[in-house]
Amino acid sequence: MNFEPFITCAVTGSGETADKHPGLPITPAQIAAAAIEAADAGAAIAHIHVRDPATGKGSRDPALYREVVERIRDSGRDVIINLTAGMGGDIVFGPGETPLPLNPEGTDMVGPIERLVHVTELLPEICTIDCGTMNFAAGDYVMTNTPGMLRAMAAHVQSLGVRPELEVFDTGHLVFVKQLIREGLLDDPVMIQLCMGIPYGAPDDPLTTMAMVHQMPAGAVFSGFSIGRYQLPYVAMAALAGGNVRVGLEDNLYLGRGQLASNGDLVTRAKIILEGMGARLLGPAEVRKKLQLTKRWG
């Protein structure tokens, strides 16, 4: 059991959820406000994607990231900023016997350093790196992260002094994390996020979770989450497994059956669960110290 966990709130994501929740943050102003709301509720870290304000679809426009980050920093609210670097690795194959040409609807494939332009410009304390290629949900979409791409991304993030949060969706991704450590591309403490229950990655049953926890690199700081209705039960699961916690509208839209949530609602519920288990939540300053983060603002 981790009796001093921290909460990360993933406030919006990039999935096709804008039409499923009228309060999903879409504009930079809304996303920044959601991060501040999560911090006020007890989250130490805000994990941030941006969306095209006109369509609600996921975006990697550096100008949108800049507006979100500047709004959060200008607010004076202390929260650790964690920017995704998962965009730009999306391949959607054509159907059936015609996988090529690639389907332009949903395909967005750029080089590893271009995927990090917003990180290079804004220097957040944390950015994510998805640690492998996998079939992601139904259809012909492949989340693409080759070993060469990941090595280039890890080296660049390391040179920036930004802490990578390594997104692990299956056991093989942990194997690659250990390879990056051996190659000197990750600095201590290594930060890992166990992403459970995403088709077609590791299932979110306790035995699979614990099998992955037992494969953690020595000294790693890890968090865990699941999606949908299992997000809130996984608050307890992650802490019991010795880890930290992630909640937020990126992964789950509901507080209960038929009850749409806000990011603040989900963080508040996570806080109640953790404190009910006897845990004390770490604030941003304590998490910075734990993760040896460099704060460049405020």
Alpha helices (H) in 113-262, listed in sequence order: 117-122, 147-160, 171-182, 206-213, 233-240
Model confidence band, residue 86 (pLDDT cutoffs 50, 70, 90): confident
Would you say residue 14 has pLDDT above 90? no
For β-strands 80-83 and 58-59, DSSP reports them as unpaired
pLDDT digits (tens, 9 = 90+) for 222-236: 999 999 999 999 999
Contact 93, 103 (CB under 8 A): yes
Q: What is the pTM of this model?
A: 0.95
What's the confidence (pLDDT) of residue 215?
A: 96
Model confidence band, residue 16 (pLDDT cutoffs 50, 70, 90): confident
Question: Region 80-94: what's the mean pLDDT?
Answer: 94
- Alpha carbon of 87 to those of 3, 28, 37, 118: distances in Å? 34, 17, 25, 11
Model confidence band, residue 160 (pLDDT cutoffs 50, 70, 90): very high
- Give the H/E segment covering residue 285: helix 284-291
Contact 100, 93 (CB under 8 A): yes
> Sign of torsion, CA 43 45 49 52?
positive
Instruction: Tell me which residue of 123, 242, 253, 140 sits closest to 194, measured CA to CA.
Output: 242
User: Domains in the chain, ordered, with CATH?
Assistant: 7-291 (3.20.20.70)
